[in-house]
Structure 1
Amino acid sequence: MGPDEVLRGMLMYFVLPLWLAAGFADYLCHRASHIEKTSGWKESVLHLAQFAEMAVPVLAALFLEITSGVILLMMVFLVFHEATAIWDVRYASSRREVSPTEQHVHSVLEMLPLTGLLLVIALHWPAFAALFGYGTPDFAFRLKQSPLPLTYIVTMLALTALLEVLPYFEELVRGLRYRARQAKD
């Protein structure tokens, strides 16, 4: 097994699953702190925005050839994600206690996207270097010539739906219902 296979394996079977687990742990922290009663649905919208910001580069990595354009897209969305994360923590910490456990989960959620990007860059160094004038950048977006295994893609998308999409939509609904009940009182 060569270095590229090791890096690819780390990305696929360590970074992405751990990132999903950390996202679910963050949801559990929010649930335990009853955010629907404090920071409410507005914080949930920020969580969904962060999810969407990371969905773009993850879906690109799953389905597209990694070109200079895809790496640039990943870098831009990582910056968007970090800006939204700062906005989220600023908003949340002004309205509720963000526990030490939740703070540590946030650390993982901030570092794993960067780790994933760094692994992608290591696997596709010429495409990254071309962004800085060391070669000709390829900004094309095209489907992978050698797709990832279908079972892997289906498993990751199913886990994403179960551990991220559904829980965070439940969080949003819980916040909206609480707001509606408060408006009636």
Structure 2
Amino acid sequence: METQTLLIHALLYLFLPLWGIAGFADWCCHRATRIETTSGLKESLMHSLMGLQVGIPILLCLLFRINVLVLLICLLAWVLHELVAHWDVHYTAPRRRIGIWEMHAHSYLASLPLYMLAMILILNWPVVLDLVRLEWAGQLRLERLAEPHGGERYLPLYLTFMAVLCVFPYLEENLRCLRHSLSERSDRA
């Protein structure tokens, strides 16, 4: 198997699913520590924001040709994800116990996006050179691929997988935290 194909398969069938599994493990840790009664809605919303910061670049890379615009979005999203991740732990640590399993989940949630970004950069090295040389002409628009990476069946399967492992659990976490926050406010009133 050619190296480029091997890297693409590693991204699609190893790293992307592992990111979802790590996100689910993190959600399980939040649930076990009753996040709604400790760090609450603010932390939960940070988790949703971080999911979007990685999810949007993933969708862009699956659906569109990788060009300078897509790389800029991926790089910016990764930097913002790292900043929010730091803010998340800084905010949470004094409010809620972050156990060893959650720390392991965090290590995957932080490293997998970096590994995926590195692989995307390697796979699209000529575009990286254009980015660095500021040769951006014609590369600042989204160009839809005729067929998404992984084929027509991959994207619906992956999105379903992520909905079950991450989207629905984190929506539940947000709602649980919101309900608890509203309940506390009404108790104080």
TM-score bin, normalised by smaller chain: over 0.9
Residues 97-129 of structure 1, C-alpha deviation per residue, up to 9 Å, x if partnerless? 111211111010000001111111111100011
Q: Is the 8 A contact 1:36 1:178 kept in 2?
A: yes
CA distance in 2, matches of 1:4, 1:135: 24
CA drift at 1:13: 0.4
Q: Is the 8 A contact 2:63 2:147 kept in 1?
A: no
State the partner residue of 1:122.
Answer: 122
- Structure 1: runs of 5+ lacking an equivalent: none
Give the TM-score normalised by structure 1. Answer: 0.95
State the partner residue of 1:139.
Answer: 140
CA drift at 1:179: 1.8
Pairs aligned (count): 185
Residues 3-31 of structure 1, C-alpha deviation per residue, up to 9 Å, x if partnerless? 00000000000000000000000000100
CA distance in 2, matches of 1:63, 1:45: 26
CA distance in 2, matches of 1:180, 1:145: 47
State the partner residue of 1:106.
Answer: 106
CA distance in 1, matches of 2:67, 2:147: 14
State the partner residue of 2:173.
Answer: 171
Letter in 2 for 1:90: H
CA distance in 2, matches of 1:135, 1:45: 37
CA drift at 1:139: 2.4
- Structure 2: runs of 5+ lacking an equivalent: none
State the partner residue of 2:156.
Answer: 154
Letter in 2 for 1:128: V
Letter in 2 for 1:13: Y
Give the TM-score normalised by structure 2. Answer: 0.93
Q: What's the C-alpha RMSD, in Å, of the aligned pairs?
A: 1.4
CA distance in 2, matches of 1:164, 1:73: 22
| Same amino acid, percent of matched pairs | 37
CA distance in 2, matches of 1:65, 1:179: 43
CA distance in 2, matches of 1:118, 1:68: 15
Q: Is the 8 A contact 1:126 1:135 kept in 2?
A: no
CA drift at 1:136: 5.4
CA distance in 2, matches of 1:134, 1:9: 30
CA distance in 1, matches of 2:173, 2:49: 13
CA distance in 1, matches of 2:174, 2:33: 14
Residues 23-50 of structure 1, C-alpha deviation per residue, up to 9 Å, x if partnerless? 0000001001101010011111111111
CA distance in 2, matches of 1:22, 1:140: 32
Residues 118-154 of structure 1, C-alpha deviation per residue, up to 9 Å, x if partnerless? 1111111000111111865622311013433121100
